[in-house]
Structure formats: structure tokens, C-alpha cells
């Protein structure tokens, strides 16, 4: 019984350690507070230019950093990849119902013959085709120092929001995650 309890305690400690970021991650996060100017590099991926422009707008709106178009004057860089996919989802459906019946009979008597027959049939068929235009965007970005140290990273996806498209929504999610990380860095930096 003691052995089982010890294993359970070790397991719980391992889970807690896996869920909580270590002191190394916290130290890197606090370095976000030293960044004054940020350069958003061209992102890799299809239609990434649009998402980059939206990221610049969303990060600028947070007021955390001065964004620059000159990488030589930047304290840090935002680098990564993004995709903005537009595709059609096609769904075809066909339903049918058919019922048939038949009956026949014959009788022959001398010089007289009788033949009875009955038949019925019912059929119904319905088919439909639904074409739906889908739009998805995703971004995997990180902020790093000129020496290559990664301070923060995030992966965000979106199928679109109620009042904005998927590219705009994914840029807003990245900016929101960055604000949360910055606020956490501020809390960690307080003595």
C-alpha cells in the first residue's frame, strides 16, 4: 500500500512539473519586458503576407512594442509561418425508397380459363448537393532576440469569427496571447 501511495505522489508531482513552465521559461518570458522595437519578418506559407499585415496591425494595437520595418533597428524579431486556406467542402446525398408488389393467379376449367393479376409499385428518390466555401487560417510564430534566443511562441488557428474573417481572427488571437505573456512577465518581474 505504501508503495502505491509513493508511486501516486511521484506521478502527481511529475504531472504538476509537466504542466507548469519551469524557471528557465519564466526567465525567457521576463526578457520580453526589455524589448522596445519589434520587426515582424515576412512569414512562410501560402497567403502569409496578408496574415503578416494583420499581425502588424494587431500587435501595434496592443501598444506593447514599437513596430519597425527596418530589421537593423529592432531589439527583437517575430518570425514564423502562416497559412490562409480557402477551399470548398462538397457533400452529396442521395436517398431513395421503392416498394413493389405483385400477385397473379390462373384457373383453368374445361373450356373456360380465368386469369387474375394484380401489381403495384411506389418509388421516391431524392438527391441533394451542398457546396460550402470554407476558410481557415493558422499561424505559428515566435519572438526571438538577435542572438537566436526564443522568448515567446504560440500556435493559433481559426475558422473565422462571427464578425471577422479567419486571417483577422488568427492575428487577433496571436496578439491576445502575446498580451497575456507580457502581463505574466510583468507579474514575474515584480519582487
Q: What residues make up the domain containing 114?
A: 91-129
- pLDDT score at 3: 52
Residues of the chain with pLDDT under 70: 1-22, 105-111, 113
Least Cα distance to 21 among 179, 153, 162 occurs for: 153
- pLDDT score at 140: 96
Q: Are residues 44 and 121 in the same domain?
A: no
Q: What is the pTM of this model?
A: 0.67
Q: Are residues 139 and 82 in the same domain?
A: yes
Question: How much is the CA Rg of the chain, to the nearest whole Å?
Answer: 33
- Residue 45, sorted as left (phi over 0), alpha (psi -120 to 50) or beta, turns out to be left
Cα–Cα distance for residue pair 177/84, rounded to 1 Å? 19
- Which of these three, 129, 159, 181, is where a domain ends? 129
Least Cα distance to 32 among 151, 183, 174 occurs for: 151
- Count of domains in the chain? 2
Q: Are residues 119 and 57 in the same domain?
A: no
Q: Are residues 107 and 180 in the same domain?
A: no
- pLDDT score at 106: 67
Question: Which CATH number belongs to the domain containing residue 176 in this structure?
Answer: 3.40.50
Q: Are residues 141 and 76 in the same domain?
A: yes
- pLDDT score at 22: 64
Count the neighbouring beta carbons within 10 Å of the beta carbon of residue 133.
8
- pLDDT score at 148: 93
- pLDDT score at 138: 93
- pLDDT score at 153: 95
The answer to whether position 10 is within a domain reads: no
Amino acid at each position: 500500500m505504501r508503495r502505491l501511495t509513493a508511486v501516486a505522489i511521484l506521478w502527481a508531482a511529475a504531472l504538476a512539473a509537466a504542466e507548469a513552465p519551469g524557471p528557465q521559461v519564466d526567465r525567457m518570458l521576463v526578457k520580453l519586458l526589455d524589448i522596445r522595437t519589434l520587426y515582424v519578418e515576412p512569414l512562410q506559407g501560402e497567403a502569409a503576407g496578408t496574415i503578416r499585415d494583420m499581425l502588424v496591425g494587431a500587435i501595434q494595437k496592443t501598444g506593447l512594442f514599437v513596430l519597425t520595418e527596418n530589421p537593423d533597428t529592432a531589439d527583437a524579431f517575430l518570425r514564423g509561418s502562416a497559412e490562409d486556406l480557402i477551399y470548398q467542402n462538397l457533400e452529396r446525398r442521395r436517398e431513395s425508397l421503392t416498394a413493389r408488389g405483385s400477385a397473379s393467379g390462373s384457373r383453368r376449367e374445361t373450356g373456360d380459363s380465368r386469369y387474375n393479376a394484380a401489381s403495384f409499385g411506389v418509388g421516391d428518390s431524392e438527391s441533394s448537393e451542398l457546396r460550402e466555401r470554407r476558410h481557415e487560417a493558422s499561424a505559428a510564430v515566435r519572438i526571438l532576440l538577435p542572438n537566436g534566443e526564443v522568448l515567446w511562441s504560440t500556435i493559433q488557428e481559426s475558422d473565422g469569427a462571427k464578425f471577422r474573417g479567419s486571417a483577422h481572427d488568427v492575428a487577433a488571437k496571436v496578439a491576445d496571447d502575446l498580451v497575456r505573456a507580457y502581463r505574466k512577465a510583468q507579474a514575474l518581474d515584480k519582487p
